[in-house]
Structure 1
Amino acid sequence: ERQAKRARALAEGEVGSKAAAEDLEGRVESLLEQAKAAQAEVRAAQAEVEALRVGLKSLKVTAPIGGTVLGKPPEVGESLGMMATGLNSMGGTIEIADLTSLVVETDVPEQRLHLIQMGRPAEIVLDAFPTRRYRGKAIEIVPRMNRAKATATVKVAFTDPAEGVLPDMSARVSFLSKELDEATLKQPPKRVVPSAAVVDRNNAKVVFVIEGDRVRVKPVQIAAPVAGGFELLEGPAPGTRVVRDPPADLADGQLVKEKADS
């Protein structure tokens, strides 16, 4: 551009060629146009980069909580996202659980619900680890009753680290008057059968268990009384439903219908 101005000045002073000056000015204008076009291409490229950055952010999945991935992560190429009706069932999903905040949900009969207080100590025994005891405490009563079973759901949190505990494990909960001490915690858990379920039949201790719509007689061996019943040495597996206060005429195989507690 300086050369073009110098050539123009020389041409006007009749020292240089006017054609040379015009040629240089034309080249300057051409170069300026090329520079403008290059700048426009740069701006377009920057806009494209920004758009790619935005798109890249949408491809990054950020977990709402810290935890452990429970299932197999989606494969490359699978779609992730939300639909109006919930998770996209056609695409991949990632399930994450905070294993440090697991709770046990247990059903408590309606007539005993007044005995549950927040913070009340409890003992948790998992079916997967029947010889291991965990300390817990009641933290929430779900504000909804199950009218079919006349029960309410109580959430019990682990007081100690829940080592080995996984989501959806089966567990049994016993609410206590005081927290288990360290010495008691090391002892194997006792199986307890309600005293109202144990009756004498043919000079033997038995319980009536519910199997479908019938009752079956199961012999039991019991030890010393404990709170609410007897220690069960031999008999039905934990979690088996038994008949409370069975009448004298109740017989093995008899049809029964479960009655909601009043």
Structure 2
Amino acid sequence: MTTKTSVGKWGFWAFVAVLAGAVLYLAVRPDPVWVDLATVSRGALEVSIDEEGKTRVKDRYLISSPVAGYLHRVPNEVGDRVSPGQLLTEVDPMPASVLDARSRAEAEARVAVARSALNSTRQKVAAAQAEADLARKELARLRSLSADRFVSEDRLEQAVSAADRANAILRSARFDEEVMTHELKAARTRLEVSAARSSGNGNVERVSVRSPVEGAVLGVVRKSEGVIQAGEPILEVGDPSALEVEVDVLSFDAVNLSPGIPVRLTGWGGQVLEGRVRRVEPVGFEDISALGVEEQRVKVVADIVSPTGEWSTLGDGYRVDASFILWSGEDVLIVPTSAIFDHNGGQAVFVADNDVARLVPVTTGRSNGLHTVITEGVAAGGMVIRHPDSEIFDGARIRER
């Protein structure tokens, strides 16, 4: 009886000790860490650079005035169709200036001077004409006498020379008369033809301004008529059906772009369009972001390769969202990038195994910032911990939120 009582006591105290140890373990063990889990899955992944761009006409023609003159009003409006050689406007010669009182008095005096000079020249012409007539008569008389040998040869030659000299003086006087006539006409024109007295009649030499290409008017720089200088722009034309997309890309991203990279164009109000990079400009420029941060950017030009009918409503200067596709995979193993962290010179994830975190090294591939390709380490269907912190370690108890 005593032996049985002793064994019972020992058994009781052993049970009490085990129960106390269990209670103590439950009391001191750490609580499970609350975590966010994500599923390792297979699917498509795309790595791209997304920026905002705008459309522009490939070939733009800024039409300017070929001469200085008076521009006619431009009848065309933005969007009007034009054809090669179509008359757009005309440029007249510069209109005459208005004469003030002093200029008009000076012009009247020049007319009087020119008229007096012409009268003086006409008197000289009359005197030269008389001298020429006298020399001609004298030559005729001496020639009649020379037939009967009453005049010497020397005397006859002197008469011929005198007649020639008189005729030359007469011709010179008549040329002077023509010059004075033109000078009088010019002085009268200066006086009579001015902007104040111009009647607007008569033929005017006009220079036509014509369209060089088939297309439409993209902008009217000068609409109203008026005086215009040579080289001053009038309007801009181009073919709106030949569009390209211009995108300002951060220089950090531009180094990954090259001609031929596909571009997806969205956010313009229509269906998704396909494009292709044509040129990455080798010169960057400084720009200020919306947050006031200085950025170095590079212009990238892409062609739209989708059928024209799909973007016929697009015009010059329209906004588009451009996604440059650097890499894409159709069936790859992906996990959230937030689940991956650096570990022992490589990368790893925490996998949830029956409410316990297990550290698993992984080999990663391409990443688009949100998701990353896993080439080795985990399998599809597994659960990984997102945003692991310092409370999580290999073997830690976890609980999903």
TM-score range, shorter chain: 0.3 to 0.5
What TM-score does the superposition give when structure 1 sets the normalisation length? 0.39
**Which structure has the larger Rg over C-alpha atoms?**
2
What TM-score does the superposition give when structure 2 sets the normalisation length? 0.28
Tell me which of the two structures has the higher relative contact order, counting C-alpha pairs closer than 8 angstroms and 6 or more residues apart. Answer: 2
Structure with the largest fraction of strand: 2
